[in-house]
Chain A
Amino acid sequence: MPDTNSSAAAVLIPAIHIPPISVRRRVTNRVMTGVAVLTVVLVLLPLFAIFAYLVYKGIGSINLAFLTQTPKPVGESGGGMANAIVGSMVILGIASLLGVPLGIGAGIFLSEYGRNRYGDIVRFVSDVLNGVPSIVIGIVAYGLVVMRQKHFSALAGGVALAIMMVPTIARTTEQMLLLVPQAIREAAYGLGVSRWRTTLSITLRTATSGVITGVMLAFARVAGETAPLLFTAFGNQFWNWKTDQPTAALSLQIFTYAISPFDEWHRQAWAGALVLIILIVGAVAAVRIAVRHGTLSGA
């Protein structure tokens, strides 16, 4: 009975007139979409410009010698940054070993136990630490490690970079853990799982990909730092495998070569910068792929 249907509908829903989409709305839609795309391009442009310029300037100087040899004395051509590449990896490894657990631990405290005044204090201090100039952090590491060891070392450089990593990791970890719904924690509590186990095996695991983003952000940021290494790792023209000895780092080598008066060194500085950026991109990509590999379908 279509008649009763329509009259029933007429009673429930008052007749309203929805105007067709106007030309003005269509145009606004187009314009705003365009603006959004433009901003994306503007954000990405510097990145690609820098990378393209680095490739242009640096690729010519990257060869087997550059990747396998130590720097040659002034006046001799050739040589490379092999020791600095390895040194950077060692220093960043130490920094990650110290900074990542500490940062994630602080993030867990802030999210799971720090919804109070103590948490607010830690959050504030962490944000201030994030704003401290990197050279000042270098001085702190100098005081903490170099003064005690009586010489520069990879360890001191790692400590300086670790201090820089902690606030970024702590705050992103906190944010990512807070995004995990309370219902997930309750599900674990309901099974008789203790609080610390729930935090580690359920909450942190659920937030893994976000936490890793924070870790990689911090890693990428400190990987290019030069100032904190100036009087901690100090740099080295030769191979060094000991973490308690002055150690070369790509950023330091680039700095030294870039301010030198020699064209050859300038070219090598460009090459070093290119290698550094490739290493960072490679590390971030490798971690991302490793994480995705361990993820289930539909998760």
Chain B
Amino acid sequence: MGVGITVEHLNAFYGKTQALFDVNIIVAANRATALIGPSGCGKSTFIRCLNRMHETIPEARVEGKVRIGDLSVYNGTSATQLRRRVGMVFQKANPFPTMSIYDNVAAGLKLNGFRNRKQLDEIVEKSLESAALWDEVKDSLHKKSGASLSGGQQQRLCIARALAVQPEVLLMDEPCSALDPISTGKIEELIFQLKEQYTIVIVTHNMQQAARVAEFTGFFLLGKMIEFDKTEKIFTNPSDKRTEDYVTGRFG
């Protein structure tokens, strides 16, 4: 089951440059929440603060409080423990190139010491099914490398890989930006189904996509969260002038 996310007074820095300014947000469990905004506004930085990916960059640091379910993200939880519960799908599909399709999906479990072959088989199949990829790859699970798949398939493989560790939250950083409309459609459909089991936070440049998949939408501008509300409200009747300008295409 998914869990909710609470973010309080989040500031993020790259060295001396501040990228996020006092972001506050409550993400509902088992819902999709979209983050929109022009390039460089801090959406990706924000999402990377939720699973402590931000701190893997040299000189990057974070201030503030983030709670995911009952976990305090920046207080007493190890980054690796946290990331097992908060999966991530990246902008560019990044399957492990030397691993087979099967090993790609099983990687998260295997590398964390999970060895039960039978259960692994089961989880790999289920994850690939959840990512709507099973039928396309079931005959070449061990024969083909993850990198031999098409772009859209690779991205779904990465989703399956994230699902295999059974997270509670799934972070998606522009998962469709490199995909054609058909693959994008497949992934959006997937997000719909995944909501039943996971809390989803998705960064997107595509406002139609936000409107299609998300119940809640947050608008970022220059490192600040300008507005956060029900998706419908953001797109039809935003409270802030800047949000309105952005969603109506007057800038950005």
Asked whether B81 lies within 8 Å of A206 as measured between CB atoms, the reply is no
Indicate if the CB atoms of A193 and B96 lie closer than 8 Å.
Answer: no
Given A191-B87, A191-B162, A193-B111, A299:B147 Cβ within 8 A:
yes
Assess whether A191 is in contact with B83, with CB atoms less than 8 Å apart: yes
Is A187 in contact with B112, judged by CB distance below 8 angstroms?
Answer: no
Known: A115-B58, A186-B53, A296-B144. Is A191-B108 also a contact (CB below 8 A)? Answer: yes
Pairwise interchain contact B161-A181, C-beta atoms closer than 8 A: no
The answer to whether A193 and B80 touch (CB under 8 A), given A201-B111, A206-B97, A299-B148, is yes
Q: Which of A185, A191, A201, A205 has the most CB of B within 10 A?
A: A191
What 1/0 mask marks residues of chain A from 183 to 221 whose CB sits below 8 Å from any chain B CB? 111111111111001100110011010000000000000
Q: Which residue of A lies closest to B109 (CB)?
A: A191
Q: Which of B151-174 contact A (CB under 8 A)?
A: 158, 161-162, 165
Chain A residues touching B, majority SS: helix
Chain B 91-108 near chain A by CB (<8 Å), digits 1 or 0: 010111111100000011
A295 within 8 A of B: yes
A192 with B94: CB separation less than 8 A = no
A183-B90, A298-B145, A299-B147 given; A189·B100 CB < 8 A:
no
Shortest CB distance A109–B (Å) = 16
Residue of A whose beta carbon sits closest to that of B83: A192
Residue A297 CB within 8 A of the other chain:
yes
Q: Which residue of B lies closest to A294 (CB)?
A: B98
Instruction: Categorize the interface residue count of chain A.
Output: 20 to 34
Bound CA span A206–B81, Å = 24
Asked if A192 and B96 sit within 8 Å, CB to CB, the answer is no
Q: Mark B48-87, 1 if CB is under 8 A from A, else 0.
A: 0001010010100000000000000000000111111101
User: Separation in Å of the A200 CB from the closest CB of chain B?
Assistant: 9
The 8 Å CB contact of A181, one of B53, B80, B94, is: B94
Given A191-B108, A297-B144, A298-B145, verify A206-B96 contact (CB < 8 Å): yes
Neighbouring A residues of B147 by C-beta, 8 Å = 298-299
Inter-subunit contact A296/B98 (CB<8 Å): yes
Q: Which residues of A contact B108 (CB under 8 A)?
A: 191-193
Chain A, range 248-299, C-beta contacts under 8 Å to B? 295-299
Residue B138 is within 8 A (CB to CB) of chain A in the complex: no
Q: Is there contact, CB below 8 Å, between B81 and A192?
A: yes
> In the complex, which residue of chain A has the Cβ closest to the Cβ of B104?
A187
CB pair B145–A299 under 8 Å, yes or no, is: yes
Min CB gap B55→A, angstroms: 10
Contact of B98 with A206 in the complex, beta carbons under 8 Å: yes
Q: Closest Cβ of chain B: how far from A222's Cβ, in Å?
A: 28
Identify which of residues 68-122 in chain A touch chain B, using a CB-to-CB cut-off of 8 Å: 115
B123 interfacial contact with A, CB 8 Å = no
Interchain CB contact under 8 A, B111 and A197: yes
Among A186, A194, A198, A296, the most chain B Cβ lie within 10 Å of the Cβ of A296
Provide the bound-state CA to CA distance between A181 and B97, in Å.
11
Q: Which of B56, B79, B87, B97 contacts A186 (CB 8 A)?
A: B56
* Contact partners of B9 in chain A: CB under 8 A: none
| Alpha-carbon separation in the docked complex, A115 to B57 (Å) | 12
Provide the residues of chain B in CB contact with A191, threshold 8 Å: 83-84, 87, 107-108, 111-112, 161-162, 165
Smallest CB-CB separation from B113: which chain A residue?
Answer: A197
Complex: A201 Cα to B106 Cα, angstroms:
13
Residue B212 CB within 8 A of the other chain:
no
B88 at the interface (CB under 8 A from A): yes
B115 interfacial by beta-carbon distance below 8 Å: no
Given A192-B112, A297-B143, also A187-B82 (CB < 8 A): no
Assess the B94–A183 pair: CB atoms within 8 A.
yes
Whole-angstrom distance between the Cβ of B160 and the nearest chain A Cβ: 12
Q: Which residues on the B side are within 8 Å of A206 (C-beta)?
A: 96-98
6 CB-based A-B contacts, threshold 8 Å: A189-B79, A191-B83, A197-B112, A296-B143, A299-B147, A299-B148
Q: Report the 9 A-B pairs with minimum CB-CB distance, sorted nearest first.
A: A298-B148, A192-B84, A191-B108, A190-B88, A192-B83, A299-B145, A183-B94, A296-B145, A298-B145
Which residues of A are at the interface with B, using a C-beta cutoff of 8 A?
Answer: 115, 181, 183-194, 197-198, 201-202, 205-206, 208, 295-299
**Residues of B with Cβ closer than 8 Å to A?**
51, 53, 56, 58, 79-85, 87-88, 90, 92, 94-100, 107-108, 111-112, 143-145, 147-148, 158, 161-162, 165
**A-B contact sample (10 more), CB < 8 A, given A188-B96, A299-B98:** A183-B94, A190-B88, A191-B107, A192-B165, A193-B111, A202-B111, A205-B99, A206-B96, A296-B144, A298-B148
